Amino acid sequence: MSTNPPKPAHFLAERITADLAAGKNGGQVVTRFPPEPNGYLHIGHSKSICLNFGLAQAFHGRCHLRMDDTNPSAEEVEYVQSIERDVRWLGFDWAGGADGNTPNATYYASDFFQGMYDYAEELIRRGLAYVDSLSRDELRQLRGSFDEPGRESPHRNRGVAENLDLFRRMKAGEFDEGSCVLRARIDMAHPNVLMRDPLLYRIKKAHHHRTGDAWCIYPMYDFAHPLEDAFEGITHSICTLEFESNRELYDWVLDAVPERWNPRPRQYEFARLALGYTVMSKRKLLQLVTGGDVDGWDDPRMPTIAGYARRGVRPEAIRAFADMIGVARNNSLVDIGKLEHCIRADLEPITPRALCVLRPLKLVLTDWPADRAEMLRAPWFPDDPSQGARELPFGRELFIDREDFALEPPPGWHRLAPAHEVRLRHGYVVRCIDVVRDGEGDVTEVHCTHDPQSKGGATADGRKVKGTLHWVSAAHAVPVKVRLYDRLFTVEQPDASDDYRHHLNPESLVEVNAVAEPALGKVDVGTRWQFERLGWFYADPVVGRPDALVFNRVIPLRDSWAKATGAVDAAASRPVRTRVPEVNSERRSEKAAGKTRTDLRAERRAEVPELAKDYERFQRDWGLPEEHADLLTADVELARYFAETVAAGAPAKAAANWAVNELLRAVKERPLAELPLAPTVFSALVVKVDGGELGASAGKQALAHLCTSGGTLDAALRTLGLERPQDGAALDSALDAVIADKAVEVSRYRAGEAKLLGVILGAAMQRTKGAFDGKAVKERLVGKLTG
């Protein structure tokens, strides 16, 4: 990789540029990627890896790899090794060690346990921490809630000497797990719940993968993380948005200890990646592994880096995907089609083409002599024959794919059927004259004649032949196993609620005994190929052997999962295959075996009359589309929540849209009952957005914030800097800044290049972070540009 790639264009790069310009951190840029070694890395992590390592490269800084191993229970050496392997596979190196420059030296949070402990004692001495002996339940009760301040523990005012003594005894193992904790002494009435005397240490009598039994107290994330960053000299500590409210505590910890840090790390947040048709949490991925739903962490269907590698995806594709999705501050579900596009775009130029028949059906050329084989020359790269060619034997008996023959073809069928003509790739045009069937009426052989003047595909009389099929000579065919991998889940948001394992795609792996052209029989394992008309394939290096090849389908040629109708029911819609209809109908009925979520909801409504009533009412009285009524009556709690939202004033249709597209996503993170978002607040949000007072993207930001932090809508908008100023002064000044910034485009626009409005408007939307309604921004901008 180049050592001087172009600077990425996103808010974090801007931040770093500004810090460097201001001379902060002595001109250093040090980032880190801090996984907890409790599972394999997934595609979400790769976003963070590409971001952190990418920033370090772009700004000539360094990026540490740190195992955030402060929780002994779930961490394992196997995971540490897989993490190192996967980061390297993605194409990144790291440095570390005492001098920060030792190649491939990995940092471990556990190496800092003593330093953290010493600071904890220091906090006690400064009156900033105390040992609390309440039970976990009592602690929770005193914490208060979003609308209610917390209350002080009776142990809050223990003296320094007593606290030190208790803390040392905690460390010495004198107390049982859960009997006491070390807490920061901040403010039990703090508006940020996380600041209400948070826990710093807890007792955990577990064996640690590196420190063994040396410790029985372990630091909490909020205490450990800022210190790890500071000890390592991190300048920019980048994490995902759920940690936004933790930033205040991060800063408190760094300021509370006596050290004057230089550099003083700062935390920045970005949106985590959520990808359609996958689950991403390590906990859920582990369940798939231990539950036997997949064949290990590196199963090619897993969204893990190891899984993609095993499937045959190249790191180039994953990095291109990270670039494509960019980095921003609003959470959204990324269309898996984007990742698939990157995989195809990466493989397309580098894979030689070859012929392989997945489900062989014999084709006999009745006018071809039995003993005659003709060697055709077929280029590996049809667009560039200079890259070489192979010999492709052609003869009387061939195999074609079953799916390419239909006895009763549907309209528009361009493949083979009785009396139809097709071209055989690189070979001749053939016409079907007869079929042989077995006792059940299934076709077992197709008989054809060939046009001797059509070698290479063109007919001598210029008649048009529409279809071209792939094929393999029966006498030369090499048997290979092909694993047809498909998406692991059948719905876009498998963990939207209920049991995500319910949505496992029963056809995510179909293994077939295929036949390949002879040249494919001699390839090395670990190589990638494009099987014509089928997709990209990878000669599996683990189970495949040179004499018994196994090909993994990396990805089919084209997207066969196009969405049904917009994204109305993204959570429940069944994928609609846009393939030409399959001839083979048993496969289709197999597919229908599993029940869909839609079926299950219908069943539940049949059992719970209240739900059935709501389902009717939502459509009849409130005019909701059937799909929305269906989704919102998935359970009683949700239906009630929705009804209360509408009762509080939100227009029903808009509320349903927001509930289905945004709220259900949040409910995926935690159950509705625990969501700190009251229906009245949700209602207020919908009203504001629907009335055009708040832009949709600002609305989403606010909703995400409310779902994690609670509070009122106004408070959320204030915190996020999204308040809508009464007089429009903020919009005006933002637009003025954009006009100054885009002076060149502005003058060209004023000189008549109308299409530049888009560029200027884009900059304006970006600058206003979606705080204003798009239409309002446009109107005012045009006013300013023309007035």
Residues at the contact surface with ligand ATP, assessed by CB under 6 A = 34-36, 44-45, 47-48, 68, 239-240, 272-273, 280-282
Residue 504 pairs in a beta bridge with: 489
Q: Which listed option, Mg ion, ligand ATP, none, makes contact with residue 661 (CB within 5 to 8 Å by class)?
A: none
Q: How many angstroms separate the CA atoms of 42 and 47, rounded?
A: 9
Minimal distance, residue 503 CB to ligand ATP, in Å: 18
In 3D space, the residue among 381, 377, 378, 324 whose CA is nearest the CA of residue 350 turns out to be: 381
Q: How many angstroms separate the CA atoms of 167 and 182, rounded?
A: 7
Nearer to ligand ATP, 280 or 364 (CB): 280
Minimal distance, residue 45 CB to ligand ATP, in Å: 5
Nearer to ligand ATP, 129 or 322 (CB): 322
Q: What is the DSSP string of 345-411?
A: HHHGGG--EE-EESSEEEEEETTS-TT--EEEEEESSTT-GGG-EEEEEE-SEEEEEGGGB-SSPPT
Structure-token pair, residue 496: 């939207």
Query: From the centroid of its chain, how far is CA 279?
Result: 8
Q: Which listed option, ligand ATP, Mg ion, none, makes contact with residue 240 (CB within 5 to 8 Å by class)?
A: ligand ATP
Q: Are 575 and 561 in contact (CB under 8 A)?
A: yes
Q: Which listed option, Mg ion, ligand ATP, none, makes contact with residue 45 (CB within 5 to 8 Å by class)?
A: ligand ATP
228 is a site residue for Mg ion (CB under 5 A): no
- C-alpha angle 511-517-522 in degrees, rounded to nearest 5: 90
Minimal distance, residue 321 CB to ligand ATP, in Å: 12
Preceding amide of 263 cis, omega within 30 = yes
Is 262 exposed, middle or buried (CB count within 10 Å of its CB: 0-12, 13-18, 19+)?
Answer: exposed
Q: Which listed option, ligand ATP, Mg ion, none, makes contact with residue 273 (CB within 5 to 8 Å by class)?
A: ligand ATP
Q: How many angstroms separate the CA atoms of 30 and 189, rounded?
A: 36
Place of tokens 């049809």: 382
Nearer to ligand ATP, 271 or 446 (CB): 271
Nearer to Mg ion, 36 or 197 (CB): 36
Nearer to Mg ion, 49 or 515 (CB): 49
Q: How many angstroms separate the CA atoms of 398 and 463, rounded?
A: 24
Amino acid at site 282 = K
By Cβ distance, which residue is nearest to ligand ATP?
Answer: 44
Minimal distance, residue 198 CB to ligand ATP, in Å: 18
Q: Which listed option, ligand ATP, Mg ion, none, makes contact with residue 679 (CB within 5 to 8 Å by class)?
A: none
Q: Are 523 and 538 in contact (CB under 8 A)?
A: no
- Which contiguous run of DSSP H or E holds residue 65? strand 62-67
Pairing state between β 421-424 and 429-437: antiparallel
Quick one: three-class SS letters along 558-592?
Answer: CCCCCCCCCCCCCCCCCCCCCCCCCCCHHHHHHHC
Minimal distance, residue 534 CB to ligand ATP, in Å: 31
Minimal distance, residue 359 CB to Mg ion, in Å: 44
Determine the size of the site formed for Mg ion (CB under 5 A). 1
Minimal distance, residue 286 CB to ligand ATP, in Å: 9
Q: How many angstroms separate the CA atoms of 749 and 129, rounded?
A: 61
Minimal distance, residue 303 CB to ligand ATP, in Å: 10
Q: Which listed option, ligand ATP, Mg ion, none, makes contact with residue 54 (CB within 5 to 8 Å by class)?
A: none
Q: Which listed option, Mg ion, ligand ATP, none, makes contact with residue 106 (CB within 5 to 8 Å by class)?
A: none
Q: Are 544 and 386 in contact (CB under 8 A)?
A: no
Nearer to Mg ion, 36 or 627 (CB): 36
In 3D space, the residue among 287, 310, 233, 756 whose CA is nearest the CA of residue 495 turns out to be: 287
Q: Which listed option, ligand ATP, Mg ion, none, makes contact with residue 282 (CB within 5 to 8 Å by class)?
A: ligand ATP
**DSSP 3-state helix, strand, coil percentages of the chain (rounded to 5)?**
40, 20, 40
Per CB under 5 A, contacts with Mg ion among 7-66 are 36
Quick one: three-class SS letters along 487-500?
Answer: CCECCCCCCCCCCH
69 is a site residue for Mg ion (CB under 5 A): no
Nearer to ligand ATP, 305 or 761 (CB): 305
Residue 612 pairs in a beta bridge with: none
Minimal distance, residue 80 CB to ligand ATP, in Å: 12
Nearer to ligand ATP, 33 or 536 (CB): 33
Q: What is the DSSP string of 156-190?
A: TT--HHHHHHHHHHHHHT-S-TTS-EEEE-S-TT-
Nearer to ligand ATP, 322 or 523 (CB): 322
Q: Which listed option, ligand ATP, Mg ion, none, makes contact with residue 492 (CB within 5 to 8 Å by class)?
A: none
Nearer to ligand ATP, 112 or 130 (CB): 112
Minimal distance, residue 707 CB to ligand ATP, in Å: 16
**Residues involved in catalysis:** 36, 272, 282
Q: Are 724 and 772 in contact (CB under 8 A)?
A: yes
Q: Which listed option, ligand ATP, Mg ion, none, makes contact with residue 532 (CB within 5 to 8 Å by class)?
A: none
* Residue ranges in contact with Mg ion by CB under 5 A: 36
